[in-house]
Amino acid sequence: MTSALELFCHDLRCEITPGLGGAIAGMWLGDTPVLCSTPAKDLVSARQAGSYPLIPFSNRVGHAKLQWNGTDHPLVQTSADEPHAIHGVGWQRPWTVLESSPQFALLSYEHKPDASWPFAFDASQAYKLTEHELALTLSITNQSNQAAPVGLGWHPYFVKRPGCRIAFEATGRWEMNVEKLPTHRLPSSGIHADCDFLDVDHCFDGWSGVVHLRDDVLHTRISANLSRLVVFTGPSRDTVAIEPVSHVNNAINLMRSSGATAEEMGVCVLQPGESMSAEMSITVERAP
């Protein structure tokens, strides 16, 4: 397995695990964890990491059944706890290091069609660290011989400390059923709330592209060039998942069941050789 990479600039540093899904094991400002961080040497799964990439889809494909252009593609059920395919394949596969320095890393992954995803693609992740910010770029190119649906995003877990408060603007929220699949959209202005008793596991759309997470120790700003956001936390959890994503949960199946267009659901349909990219940044400073 490829050794971990460490990026550092002044007091900000992060550790990347190319061999475990190209995940970010942890991110720290001095000794204070920004993400829910595990030292790379102790990480055994990308699901334990502070953040991992969502590619070529985010969240769930309901019941691990993908139907595209009239063809059924059974997918691998990710977990025994749920009947769905979850978070794509990138976080489950090793990535190759193309370039690395103390403030920059570039990783790649080449996907051949398999039971987890039937369309070939190439992907890359770029990480750039400055004094106060980690900037990320995630890209995908369709290498199959047909048009393919794709989506991108990230799944960072932020530490929920005393006094933690989240704030962001949106226009809608997708309600969920007991299977954790979206059912319908309701108007929503976003969230401006203390996190101690917040109970949410939803996809928001019409997202403004910025989230502020503040507590007694840090002020963290999460921004992305995406218009959808998944937020997941609960009173018993010590993390807040803040996930910039390109499409609605279970979007491809929702297109089929509701008649919604790919554009309405946020699904990007790439022709052979076409590419898509997304950008996210995490900016952090100590609370005044």
Segment 193-213 mean pLDDT = 97
CA distance 149 to 278: 15
Q: pLDDT of 135-154, one tens digit each?
A: 999 999 999 999 999 999 99
Q: pLDDT of 207-238, one tens digit each?
A: 999 999 999 999 999 999 999 999 999 999 99
Is beta strand 157-159 parallel, antiparallel or unpaired with respect to 200-205? unpaired
Residues near 259 by beta carbon (within 8 Å), at least 6 away in sequence: none
Give Cα 255 distance to the centre of its chain. Answer: 21
Residues near 208 by beta carbon (within 8 Å), at least 6 away in sequence: 168, 169, 170, 190
The total number of structural domains that make up the chain: 1
Q: What is the CATH number of the domain that holds 250?
A: 2.70.98.10
pLDDT confidence bin for 79, thresholds 50/70/90: confident
Is the per-residue pLDDT at 41 higher than 80? yes
pLDDT of residue 243: 98
pLDDT of residue 3: 86
Q: pLDDT of 80-116, one tens digit each?
A: 889 999 999 999 999 999 999 999 999 999 999 999 9
227 DSSP 8-state letter? S
**Structural domain boundaries enclosing 273:** 5-286
Is the separation of the CB atoms in 35 and 25 below 8 Å? no
Mean pLDDT of the chain: 96
| Per-residue CA distances from 227 to 136, 140, 189, 202, 261 (Å) | 16, 18, 13, 14, 16
Q: Cα torsion for 60, 61, 64, 66, to the nearest 10°?
A: -170
Segment 251-270 mean pLDDT = 93
Beta bridge partners of 88: 55
End-to-end CA distance of the chain: 41
